[in-house]
Amino acid sequence: MRNFLLKILPYGLRIEVGKIKRYIKYAYHLNINKPIKLKQCPICTKEIAFFLPVGKKRKAIHCPFCSSFPRHRAMWLYLQHNNLLKSGIRILHVSPEPSVFNVMSKMQNYSAIDKFASGYAYPKSVLQMDVEQLKFEDESFDLIICSHVLEHVDDDIAAIREMGRVIKKEGKILIMIPIEKDLATTYEDKSIISPKERLKHFGQSDHVRLYGMDFAKRIKQTELNCEMISTRELTNESDFIKYGIEDDFIFVLTRNKNVTIVP
Ligand SMILES: [Zn+2]
């Protein structure tokens, strides 16, 4: 029922319904007798008593105001600390998260794309496009953000090469993926195609592989450089807790300046 409602609602209404639900949940969990350790969402900048609990484990991770999750906030900190959102630069955002999209879509020269899951509504400004076949000229963008997309993509290396084709020589491609930290080598089996089997093997019904700690090594198949950054490096211990960040990685891909990318 919930999924059905999510699918039939227009994008704007879906966002509003989500917002009201989060506010109610926030009010419900607010306990005035509890000492408050203030948190802050770096994206919407709101100070809050806690992040909302999510899922079976009730992990406190969801911003009640902008719906950001720890990985969105970590990416945002990386963008801010490295001053990557300079005015005038061309940005490509692959499958944008609403929390970051709401802020970045106000910028000039911002393009967002998504493959469009059937039945869902998307903001009008998001273009329908496959990351494996980008309809942009070579060296079009200064910055590409691609978070939690590649685990859904059949040929992730082709998608990375394609992003490498459209990034400028001095540009940066920022990638986040769900990583199984205990897994040394990425687990992939192209014969596993049913949603039920994918859930069992890869942890989600629409994931096509389970990434291990070898992502940076996989990038060696392309002509791109890869730097693996721990989210612990983004800030000090107290802000790590205050901003609700989790242990994770951001991969920063850059071009070898003298190499021409062949898609
Ligand atoms: Zn927020």
| Ligand 1 center–CA 260 separation, angstroms | 40
What's the mean pLDDT when you consider all of the chain? 89
What's phi and psi for 176, nearest 5 deg?
Answer: -125, 145
Tell me if residue 239 falls in helix, strand or coil: helix
Q: Report how far residue 132's alpha carbon sits from residue 128's, in angstroms, rounded to the nearest whole number.
A: 12
- Count of H helices and E strands in the chain? 8, 13
Poorest-pLDDT segment among 32-41, 86-95, 102-111: 32-41
Average pLDDT over residues 32-59: 84
Whose CA is closest to 244, among 18, 6, 52? 52
Residue 242: the pLDDT is: 95
For residue 21, report the distance from its CA to the centre of ligand 1, in Å: 15
- Cα 62 to averaged position of ligand 1 atoms, centre (Å): 8
Residue 56 is predicted with a pLDDT of 78
Percentage of the chain modeled with pLDDT above 90: 67
Per-residue confidence band for 5, with pLDDT thresholds at 50, 70 and 90: low
* Mean pLDDT to the nearest integer, 114-120: 81
Question: What is the per-residue pLDDT for 152?
Answer: 93
DSSP string, 207-235: --EEB-TTHHHHGGGTTEEEEEEEGGGGS
CA of 214 to the centre of ligand 1 (A): 31
Under DSSP, the state recorded for 33 is T
Could you give all domains of the chain from N- to C-terminal order, each with its CATH number? 69-255 (3.40.50.150)
Question: Distance, CA 48 to ligand 1 centroid (Å)?
Answer: 9
Query: What is the C-alpha separation between 209 and 107, in angstroms, rounded?
Result: 34
Report, as an integer, the average pLDDT of 161-167: 97
pLDDT at residue 257 greater than cutoff 70:
no
Helices of type H across the chain? 2-8, 11-29, 70-81, 98-104, 156-166, 195-202, 215-218, 237-242
Ligand 1 centroid from CA 20, angstroms: 14
**Band of pLDDT at residue 203, cut at 50, 70 and 90:** confident
Output the CA 108–ligand 1 centroid distance in Å: 22
Give the pLDDT confidence score for residue 155 in this predicted structure.
95
SS3 letters for 59-85? Answer: EEEECCCCCCCHHHHHHHHHHHHCCCC
CA distance 144 to 139: 11
CA of 54 to the centre of ligand 1 (A): 15
Q: What is the pLDDT of residues 206-255, one digit of tens each?
A: 899 999 999 999 999 998 999 999 999 999 999 999 999 999 999 999 99
> Where residue 10 falls among pLDDT bands split at 50, 70, 90?
confident
The pLDDT of residue 234 = 96
pLDDT band, very low/low/confident/very high, at 30 (cuts 50, 70, 90): confident
For the chain, the C-alpha Rg in angstroms (whole number) is 19
Ligand 1 centroid distance, CA of 84 (Å): 20
